[in-house]
Amino acid sequence: MNVILEKIEAAKLIGRGGAGFSVASKWRMVATATGEKKYVVCNCSEGEPGVKKDGYIIEHYAQQIINGMYLAIQFLGAEKGIFYLNEAYYKQYKNILEQAITASGAKIELFVKNHEAGYVGGEETTVLNVIEGNRAEPRLRPPYPPTSGLWGCPTLVNNVETFYNVSLVNSGEYKNERFYTVIGDTLHEGVYQLPANLTVEQVLKQTENWPKYEFFVQVGGDGAGEVWSQKQLKQLATGSGSIHVYSLSKYKPIDLMLGWANFFKAESCGQCVPCREGTYRLVEALHEDKPNWPLIADVLFSLSESSFCGLGVAASIPIRTYVANVLASYPEKSTNLPIGSKKVICSNITN
């Protein structure tokens, strides 16, 4: 076994792109896959609203990210590495990244994600389609990228933070830390590097962002992130490590739901009917003066069970978890809803 793979395995490193998959397992899959050429892709789409960590890491640790990619290229004998990043980050960090690539001597190219690719342009297989010049939509799986990725070749796709951690593992500096984005109704918004085993409550308190008023949070991103009440924060931050704090009295439930629904409607690639039509109908229903909650519940179920990719599946998550964890657990007078509405909403969405 190669030394770098042994180190990654010993560190029990997991990917930081949101899925939490074993880095050693993914690297081994690509290494053992058959193909004349292999590729390494660093995914810096960061299209999830409320997540700022990848940009922060590039700004402060560009050399370590590129070094992590270089280690992967060397381990796999890859043809080259491709650094896939959104337009805003390209404009902001192009010079930093080019300098780091030159210093490393690695064969790595910068690839700018088209603005039109949107949120779905960060999904692993969509990244490959965009790089190949194809439509920005997910691929049917299997086959998976480690065995059939770019141009049908075995391809390793890891997130910015993952490659940064690989570099730390190789140099013996890895401390099982991760980056947390804390935003919203707080005093000290920002990106923080802290131990990976902290609960949301610990993160907020250690960064002096624990509010003095009733609140709830959305964890893992402002699009697909789960919504948790103030009483549920003794659990780890999931996904991308983003924590958005909301003052309970500041927001109207329907406005919040519409915000989430509008995001997914705008970002749907339109490839599958459940997502394309479901997100449209969800927005339409929530705009009604008296929303049809049984219909909304059916649409949410269809999105989660029938969508082709994770975007459609995720469209139901913030609304369902907000209703189950926040609306259902607070008195009706605290929820900015007309009298009687809370029971109707909760009875439909939580069943």
Please say if the pLDDT value at position 1 is more than 90. no
- 109 Cβ contact list (under 8 Å, min separation 6): 80, 81, 82, 83
**Higher-confidence position of 71 and 114:** 71
Mean pLDDT computed over 104-118: 89
Integer angstrom CA distances of residue 259 from 220, 252, 294, 322: 16, 11, 20, 13
DSSP lists the bridge partners of residue 177 as: 195
Quickly state the pLDDT bin for 231 (edges 50, 70, 90). Answer: very high
Quickly state the pLDDT bin for 350 (edges 50, 70, 90). Answer: confident
Mean pLDDT computed over 152-168: 97
Residue 134 to residue 166: CA distance in whole angstroms? 30
Third-level CATH fold of 3-171: Rossmann fold (3.40.50)
Q: Residue 240's pLDDT is what?
A: 86
What mean pLDDT value characterizes the chain? 92
φ, ψ of residue 330 to 5 degrees: the values are -120, 150
162-220: per-residue pLDDT in tens?
999 999 999 999 999 999 999 999 999 999 999 999 999 999 999 999 999 999 999 99
Looking at the chain, the whole-number percentage of residues with pLDDT higher than 90 is 75
Q: Residue 337's pLDDT is what?
A: 77
- 175 Cβ contact list (under 8 Å, min separation 6): 168, 195
- Tally of CB atoms within 10 A around 2: 14
Mean pLDDT computed over 111-126: 86
CATH architecture of 177-247: Roll (3.10)
* Equal fold, 3-171 vs 253-349: no
Q: Residue 309's pLDDT is what?
A: 82
Q: Is 251 helix (H, G, I), strand (E, B) or coil?
A: coil
- 67 Cβ contact list (under 8 Å, min separation 6): 104, 167, 170
314-325: per-residue pLDDT in tens?
899 999 999 999
Q: Closest Cα partner for 344 from 250, 279, 239, 253? A: 253
Is the Cβ–Cβ distance between 8 and 27 less than 8 Å? Answer: yes
Between CA 25 and CA 31, with CA 26 as vertex, the angle to 5 degrees is 95
Q: Residue 307's pLDDT is what?
A: 83
Integer angstrom CA distances of residue 311 from 100, 275, 279, 283, 322: 33, 8, 10, 16, 18
Query: How many H helices and E strands in the chain?
Result: 13, 9
Which pair of tokens denotes residue 61? 């640790």
CATH architecture of 253-349: Up-down Bundle (1.20)
What are the boundaries of each domain within the chain? Answer: 3-171, 177-247, 253-349
**pTM listed for this prediction:** 0.93
